[in-house]
A and B are shown apart, each in its own frame.
Chain A
Amino acid sequence: MKWHEKMLNIDRRWIYLILGVAVIVPAVVSFHVPVNVTPEVRRVYDFIEDLKPGDIFYVGIDYDPASLAELHPMAYAILDQCFRKDIKPVVATLSQFGAGMAEQVLSEVAAEYGKESGIDYCYLGYKPYPAITIMLMGVDFRVPFPQDYYGTPIDSIPMMRYVHNFDDLKGVISLSAGTSSEFWIIYGYGRYFMPLALGVTGVMAADYYPYLQSGQIFGLISGIKGAAEYEALTEYKGEGLKSIPYQTTTHVVILAFIIVSNIGYFASRRSKK
């Protein structure tokens, strides 16, 4: 077997092993990687930063544990910013596996700031059928969510007494790993013209830039890089910034593999001629 054939026939398990080592390297040798903030992430930060204390802002935790690594850091940083600014978040999830995670992140950040459920924030829990739930929230939050996650009727929650529909909110951010972000664009923005920002997984990011360009969303946080940018802006020490050195080493390895395989491919093409 010639050298270029060997390059093209590397056992995939070697690739996994080298990637595994590349992921462990930053845990052993710590180093800093600077993060440049993109305008689409800054716009989300500026929007929340410009809200006044007491303003109500909707945060959708619309993802499941499979996307936790990418979207959880965004949720922590955004809720931290809300509580630091005394903004009152209304949190709900449109993902059936998201209810427990959303409760965990919300109660954890709220406890750091000594915020009380029902007064400083409201957790509505999970509702199925994102499109219908978003439309009904536009009519009245009491229709899809007659009570909050803990079983308290909405009208008995001090913070929600005067919150009826999207008119009473300043904006929406949906952290999404599925189609719910699309429904937020179609119904949240398209029907109710809510100022809307999205936090999406890396896989989804390229699909949502057209909505950013068309102005249907005012900001976009994409994947772990976006989460790291947001943490850099809010100075929140979360998993986003910590993940960047790991991303760097693994991306270097992947680039090296792409280069090696291309060299092998072109060398084998030449030898065939």
Chain B
Amino acid sequence: MRKDLVWLFAGILFFGLLYLLNWGVKAISTDLLVWIGAFLTLAILSFLYQDNAFYKFAEHLFVGVSAAYWMCMGFWNTLVPNLIAKLHPPIVKGVLPAIAEKPPEYWYIIPAALGIMFLMRLSPKAPWISRWALAFIVGTTTGLNLVRYLRSDFLGQIKSTLIPVIVVENGSLSVGGSFSNIVIVVGVLCGLIYFFFSKEHKGLFGVASRVGIYILMITFGASFGYTVMARISLLVGRMRFLLGDWMGLLQ
């Protein structure tokens, strides 16, 4: 804790120096919410040095606020319009006037009962009751997703791989198009061969498997590159907030 206090005083000293040097202080934000945002950003970033009380405070605050916000959103966006408004519409006249005049739909008692059964998981005596509700969810989700996933992620992707390796555009050979299609076809085949474990990866099969590894490595590299860009974007976003919105140093 003593180290944390040292950092707190170092922070106060730093901003005191900024004030004395008049560097950017003229444009520094006077908005309390911006100051709270800046403090919490710095508190989270302080973890990069080491774990400390400010980081823990910001982390716990985030978890608590998120959970409360999620609960409120769940109540007002799920329970109220999808259950309470269906069973007794006049009760939601103040918040959902568009559906307050509609007749009640009593069959919504069934999902309400399933919801209560789900909560039985918390009961030490009859947690098995929750399995019925879970089975209903698993069944409907599987039924809903199976056909659509098959169509978009399986058949759609296979179809897009069955492409000509020699591309002719306007009566002449397109070298770029042909190369691109060859890379796709070879990449898919070699990638599949790498994951085929029923035959030993030797000879021509082994070569194709090796190419499959290289293709996978290139894919991981592209993903990693994008991930670096994404994470840096978040850092840049916070830095621009600190330097711009808070300290007023950016135009």
Show the binding face of A for B, using Cβ within 8 Å.
Answer: 13, 16, 19-20, 23-24, 27, 66, 68-70, 96-97, 99, 126-128, 131, 146-147, 151, 153-155, 185-187, 189-191, 201-203, 205-207, 210, 213-216, 222-225, 239, 242-243, 246-247, 250-251, 254
Candidate in A19, A66, A206 with the most chain B CB atoms within 10 angstroms: A206
Given contacts A154-B98, A206-B219, contact A251 B232 (CB under 8 A): yes
Find chain B residues with CB under 8 A from A213 CB: 160, 184
Q: Please give me the residue from chain A that is nearest to B76 by CB atom.
A: A126
Measured between C-beta atoms, what is the minimum distance from B204 to chain A in Å?
27
Find chain B residues with CB under 8 A from A246 CB: 232, 236, 239-240
Per the 8 Å Cβ criterion, residues 48-101 of B in contact with A are 48-49, 66, 69-70, 73-74, 77-78, 81, 95-99
Asked if B234 lies at the interface with its beta carbon under 8 angstroms from chain A, I say: yes
Asked if B19 lies at the interface with its beta carbon under 8 angstroms from chain A, I say: no
Measured between C-beta atoms, what is the minimum distance from B139 to chain A in Å?
15
Find chain A residues with CB under 8 A from B160 CB: 210, 213-215
Partner of A153, one of B97, B159, B226: B97
Find chain A residues with CB under 8 A from B159 CB: 214
Asked if B174 lies at the interface with its beta carbon under 8 angstroms from chain A, I say: no
Given contacts A27-B249, A186-B148, contact A206 B240 (CB under 8 A): no
**B243 & A27 in contact (Cβ 8 Å cutoff):** yes
Find chain B residues with CB under 8 A from A185 CB: 152
Distance, CA A90 to CA B97, complexed state (A):
21
Asked if B8 lies at the interface with its beta carbon under 8 angstroms from chain A, I say: no
Partner of A223, one of B98, B219, B226, B238: B226
Measured between C-beta atoms, what is the minimum distance from A149 to chain B in Å?
11
**A16 & B48 in contact (Cβ 8 Å cutoff):** yes
Per the 8 Å Cβ criterion, residues 198-251 of B in contact with A are 219, 222-223, 226-240, 243, 249-250
**B77 & A23 in contact (Cβ 8 Å cutoff):** no
Given contacts A13-B49, A186-B149, contact A243 B156 (CB under 8 A): no
Partner of B239, one of A24, A186, A203: A24
Find chain B residues with CB under 8 A from A247 CB: 229, 232-233, 236
Asked if B144 lies at the interface with its beta carbon under 8 angstroms from chain A, I say: yes
**15 intermolecular pairs with C-beta atoms under 8 Å apart:** A13-B48, A24-B243, A69-B233, A96-B73, A97-B69, A147-B96, A202-B226, A203-B226, A213-B160, A213-B184, A214-B156, A223-B233, A243-B237, A251-B229, A251-B232
Asked if B22 lies at the interface with its beta carbon under 8 angstroms from chain A, I say: no
Inter-chain pairs besides A27-B239, A207-B223, 9 sampled, C-beta below 8 Å: A27-B249, A97-B69, A151-B95, A151-B97, A186-B149, A186-B152, A223-B226, A224-B229, A250-B232
**A214 & B148 in contact (Cβ 8 Å cutoff):** no
Candidate in B74, B151, B230 with the most chain A CB atoms within 10 angstroms: B230
Ordered nearest first, which 4 A-B pairs have the shortest CB separation? Answer: A69-B237, A202-B230, A214-B160, A153-B98
Asked if B142 lies at the interface with its beta carbon under 8 angstroms from chain A, I say: no
Distance, CA A207 to CA B224, complexed state (A):
12
Measured between C-beta atoms, what is the minimum distance from B45 to chain A in Å?
9
Distance, CA A128 to CA B80, complexed state (A):
12
Partner of B233, one of A126, A215, A243: A243
Find chain A residues with CB under 8 A from B152 CB: 185-186, 189-190, 216
Distance, CA A49 to CA B190, complexed state (A):
40
**B97 & A239 in contact (Cβ 8 Å cutoff):** no
Find chain B residues with CB under 8 A from A155 CB: 98
